[in-house]
Amino acid sequence: HCKKTGKASFRFYTTELEKQAEEEILIELRLKKALAQGGFRLHYQPVIDIKSGKLIGAEALVRLEDGQGATLGPDRFVPVAEATGLIADLGQWVVEEACRQHRIWLRQGMALTIAINVSPLQFRHPTFAKKLGEIISETGMSPGSIEIEVTESAVMDDVNEAVDILNRIKSLGVRIALDDFGTGYSSLSSLTSLPLDKLKVDQSFIRHIERDHASRAVTEAILSLGRSLRLDVHGEGIESEYELQYLSEHGCNQAQGYLFSRPLPAHEFALWCRQREAA
C-alpha cells in the first residue's frame, strides 16, 4: 500500500466532491430565485392515439431558465429540489401552471389530457392530494383530464404506502400513469393493487427495439401485461417509424416521442397542433 498515492487520490476525491457540492448549492440558489421570481417554464410534448393518429394529450415537462436564454433540464435540478425540500413548492407551481394552460387550450377548442410528473417525495407529501383537489375545484376543470405520472421506482419503494396515497389521488377523479415502467423492480402482484390507468413503457427498451432481441421481448411482455390488466399502454421516446410500427403491431395504444415532436413551449405547441390539424 502506497501512502503517496493514497494521499493524492484522497485530495482528488475531495475536490470532485467539493465541485459537486458547489454546483448543487448554485442550483439550489437558482431554484429559490426561480420560485420567487418566476424562472420556471413548462414545455409540452404531444401524446398520440396510435390507432386514430389523433393528438389526445400533452405531457408537461419543467425547465429552469436563467433569463439569458440558457435552460436547465429537470434531470439536473429535480434531484436538488428533492434534497432541499423545494420540491413541494416547485411541484405546486407545476400543477397550477399545467392546469392554467389546460384551461386556455380548452377555451381555444383543444381538449387534451394533461400529464403531470410527480417526484417520489412530492407525491408522498401529506398535503399533495389535498392541494391537487383544491386546484381542481378552484379551476373547475374536469379531473379526468389530469393524469398524474409517478415512476415505477417511486411507487415500489413502499408499495403499501403508495397504494394508500394513490387511492386518495385517484378518488379525486384524476388518472394515474406508471412512468418509466420496466426500469424499476416491480413486484408484479402489487401492480394489481395499484389504482392505475396507464403503463408508460420506458424509452430505454424502445431505443433498442430494432437491434436488440431482449429489448423486444421485454417491450412485448410489458405491452401484454398492461393489456391484460386493462390499462392503457403508452410508448415513450419513440424516434422512428419502425418503432411506432412495431409498438402498434404489438398492441401499444399511445405514443410519444421526437418522431412526433420534442417538448415545446406552450405557444409553439399550439402552433404544432394547428399545423397538424391542417395537414
Interaction site with ligand C2E (CB under 6 A) = 45, 61-62, 73-75, 78, 94, 117-119, 122, 149, 179-180, 203, 236-239, 257-258, 263
Site size with Mg ion, rule: CB under 5 A: 5
Of 183 and 193, nearer to ligand C2E (C-beta) is 183
CA dihedral (44, 45, 46, 49) positive or negative: negative
CB of 191 to ligand C2E, least distance (A): 18
Query: CB of 59 within 8 A of CB of 149?
Result: yes
Instruction: List the grid coordinates of 144.
Output: 379526468
Of 33 and 208, nearer to Mg ion (C-beta) is 208
Of 184 and 193, nearer to ligand C2E (C-beta) is 184
Residue 244 binding target from ligand C2E, Mg ion, none, CB below 5 to 8 Å by type: none
What is the three-state SS of 32-92?
Answer: HHHHHHCCEEEEEEEEEECCCCCEEEEEEEEEEECCCCCEECHHHHHHHHHHHCCHHHHHH
Query: CB of 176 within 8 A of CB of 195?
Result: yes
CB of 81 to ligand C2E, least distance (A): 8
117 lies in the site for Mg ion, by CB under 5 A: yes
Instruction: List the grid coordinates of 36.
Output: 420567487
Instruction: Tell me which of 147, 149, 152, 220 binds Mg ion, using CB under 5 A.
Output: 149
Query: For residue 202, how far is the Cα from the chain centroid?
Result: 11
179 lies in the site for Mg ion, by CB under 5 A: yes
